[in-house]
Structure 1
Amino acid sequence: MGQLGLPELLIVGFIALLVFGPKKLPELGSGLGKAIRDFKGAISGKDSLPEEEKKETDKQEKPAGK
């Protein structure tokens, strides 16, 4: 109970193909993959800010004159 096997995954994939169509399905898959990567990165504590933005925020956070 609670496990997805190959037959269940094939059924879900077929229903998704019927609902979204073959042109939209790759876009949904890549969006889902990006969301999962972002979520895992946030959980593991990795920053998603580019280096330039990190430097700017570091400058703003440091107290002046100390």
Structure 2
Amino acid sequence: MGIANIGIPGLILIVLLALIIFGPKKLPEIGKAAGETLSEFKNSANELVSGDEKKDEATDNVEEPGEVSDKQS
């Protein structure tokens, strides 16, 4: 049983506990901070993936020494 199997009752319990612990005034600030953090994480992950793809494309275009290219004919 993992965290993905929480269900609706579990989510309601988590929200109620968060309201009790942090209060209704602090909860939106915490949600905003969590959303911004998640957004930054996704952007960083996308940059890493696109950077790896660009690096792979650059290395694919490099010819090995000793190989004869069709362009030199």
Is the TM-score greater than 0.5? yes
Number of residue equivalences: 46
TM-score for the superposition, normalised by structure 2: 0.60
Is 1:4 matched with 2:6?
yes
User: RMSD over aligned Cα, in angstroms?
Assistant: 1.2
Residue 25 of structure 2 aligns to a residue in which SS? Answer: coil
Residue 25 of structure 1: how far off its partner (Å): 0.2
Q: Which runs of 5+ in 2 are unaligned?
A: 49-73
TM-score for the superposition, normalised by structure 1: 0.66
Greater gyration radius: 2
Residue 4 of structure 1: how far off its partner (Å): 1.4
After TM superposition, the runs of 4+ consecutive aligned structure 1 residues lying more than 6 A away are none
Alignment of 1:20-59 (within 5 A): 20-45=22-47
CA deviation profile, 1:23-55 (whole Å, cap 9, x unmatched): 000000000000000000000007xxxxxxxxx
Q: Which runs of 5+ in 1 are unaligned?
A: 47-66
**As a proportion of its length, which structure holds more helix?**
2
Identical-pair percentage: 41
